[in-house]
């Protein structure tokens, strides 16, 4: 009798009592924890550790404190490239924030119109570029903008803007903006979809109430819809930030590791790659590579923290 009660109680206990760490929980968690720790967290920590060391020709490593960071930020051989990459990266991000989010918001507004015919067809097609590899997109636009093929020029001429065309990817002044816009073109689907979902989430009654209250289309947008999707715009911004400050593929595909012309399209991702693997005569340096990676990590963490504590808290999420 007492046997039966004891075994009957046990399963409930193993679920609810917090003080024990049951075997089956360990079994369920172990594979994920092991792979994640070994191939994600450990490398990140090891990279940070490595950024405090220098290596010599023999391959031996010495602890060097903050010397690498000092070199990165002040040594003329490094700092020029670093600040240049950071500045370019900020431009890259700014173009995304302004153009990508504005177009994404606009498209989402159009797609969320009530009873829009063909809405799902538009959605599917507009999201298509986002699904393709950045590398492939890079090559596609390289061909599109290639003056040799001249297709972009031809199309621009057709709408009377032919004289406006230039070798945008090849000029120092326009290459970075052009590449940023190519990236915007590819990823505009993400803000579009997220904002679209947020807009759908706003109940129709609320918009009807605003109309009865006398709000015109612009006021409904400005006073009702926009405030209600601000949290989504926040999420979009931080996703864009992280993706932009760790971008690499597009510039590598279009411009190679040297991010030309004259480093005008160099961003932190390409700078990291060159530092780590070397280029032309410069040999790669794992420790300096780790230093650049750590700097990028700090920048991304700063962004995430600003978002979590400065932005997200202020953006009240609304349940309807």
Site string for another protein, 7-26 (x = CB under 8 A): ----xx--xx-xxxxx-xx-
Q: How many Cβ atoms sit within 10 Å of the Cβ of residue 40? A: 10
Which candidate, 314, 303, 258, places its Cα nearest to that of 84? 258
Judged by CB under 8 A, the stretch of 77-85, 93-101, 116-124, 164-172 that binds another protein is 116-124
Which candidate, 246, 105, 272, places its Cα nearest to that of 189? 105
Whether residue 261 is preceded by a cis peptide bond, meaning omega within 30 degrees of 0, is yes
Q: Which one of 91, 99, 210, 258 is in contact with another protein (CB under 8 A)?
A: 210
Least gap, CB of 275 to another protein (angstroms): 10
CA–CA dist 263, 257 (Å, integer): 9
If binding is defined by CB under 8 A, does position 36 make contact with another protein?
yes
Q: What part of residues 152-171 is at the interface with another protein (CB under 8 A)?
A: 154
If binding is defined by CB under 8 A, does position 320 make contact with another protein?
yes
Q: Do the Cβ atoms of 10 and 23 come closer than 8 Å?
A: no
Q: What part of residues 54-93 is at the interface with another protein (CB under 8 A)?
A: none
Least gap, CB of 168 to another protein (angstroms): 14
**Pairing between strand 61-63 and 278-279?**
unpaired
Q: Which one of 70, 165, 221, 248 is in contact with another protein (CB under 8 A)?
A: 248
Give the nearer residue to another protein in terms of CB position, either 165 or 185. 185
Total number of residues that touch another protein (CB under 8 A): 113
Least gap, CB of 180 to another protein (angstroms): 16
Report CA torsion sign: 296, 297, 298, 299: positive
DSSP letters spanning 146-166: -TTT-HHHHHHHHTT-GGG--
Judged by CB under 8 A, the stretch of 56-64, 66-74, 163-171, 311-319 that binds another protein is 311-319
* Bridge partners (DSSP) listed for residue 53: 63
Give the nearer residue to another protein in terms of CB position, either 143 or 173. 143
Judged by CB under 8 A, the stretch of 54-62, 69-77, 172-180, 249-257 that binds another protein is 249-257
Q: What part of residues 124-143 is at the interface with another protein (CB under 8 A)?
A: 124-129, 131-136, 139-141, 143
Judged by CB under 8 A, the stretch of 52-60, 63-71, 74-82, 290-298 that binds another protein is 290-298
Looking at the chain, list the stretches that DSSP marks H as alpha helix, in order from N- to C-terminal side: 2-16, 23-36, 42-50, 67-74, 76-95, 101-111, 119-131, 134-144, 151-158, 175-187, 189-201, 204-212, 217-219, 226-244, 249-255, 268-277, 286-305
Q: Which one of 91, 181, 215, 311 is in contact with another protein (CB under 8 A)?
A: 215
Which candidate, 229, 219, 222, 228, places its Cα nearest to that of 191? 229
If binding is defined by CB under 8 A, does position 3 make contact with another protein?
no
């Amino acid at each position: 009798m007492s046997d039966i009660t004891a075994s009957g109680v046990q399963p409930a206990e193993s679920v609810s009592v917090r003080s024990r760490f049951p075997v089956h929980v360990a079994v369920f968690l172990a594979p994920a924890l092991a792979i994640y720790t070994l191939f994600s967290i450990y490398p990140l920590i090891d990279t940070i550790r490595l950024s405090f060391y220098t290596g010599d020709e023999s391959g031996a490593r010495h602890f060097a404190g903050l010397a690498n960071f000092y070199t990165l930020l002040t040594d003329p051989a490094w700092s020029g490239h670093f600040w240049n990459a950071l500045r370019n990266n900020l431009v890259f991000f700014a173009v995304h924030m302004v153009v990508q989010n504005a177009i994404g918001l606009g498209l989402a507004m159009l797609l969320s119109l009530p009873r829009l015919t063909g809405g799902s067809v538009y959605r599917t097609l507009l999201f298509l570029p986002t699904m393709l590899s950045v590398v492939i997109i890079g090559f596609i636009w390289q061909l599109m903008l290639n003056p040799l093929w001249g297709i972009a020029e031809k199309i621009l001429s057709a709408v009377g803007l032919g004289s406006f065309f230039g070798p945008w990817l090849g000029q120092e002044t326009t290459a970075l903006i052009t590449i940023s816009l190519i990236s915007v073109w590819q990823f505009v689907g993400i803000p579009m979809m997220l904002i679209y979902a947020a807009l759908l989430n706003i109940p129709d009654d609320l918009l009807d109430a605003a109309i009865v209250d006398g709000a015109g289309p612009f006021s409904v947008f400005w006073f009702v819809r926009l405030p209600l999707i601000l949290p989504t715009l926040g999420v979009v911004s931080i996703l864009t930030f992280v993706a932009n400050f760790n971008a690499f593929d597009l510039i590598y595909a279009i411009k190679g590791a040297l991010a030309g012309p004259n480093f005008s399209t160099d961003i932190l991702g390409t700078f990291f790659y060159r530092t780590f693997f070397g280029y032309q005569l410069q040999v790669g340096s794992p420790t300096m590579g780790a230093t650049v990676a750590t700097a990028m990590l700090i920048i991304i963490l700063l962004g995430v923290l600003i978002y979590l504590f400065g932005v997200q808290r202020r953006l009240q999420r609304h349940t309807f």
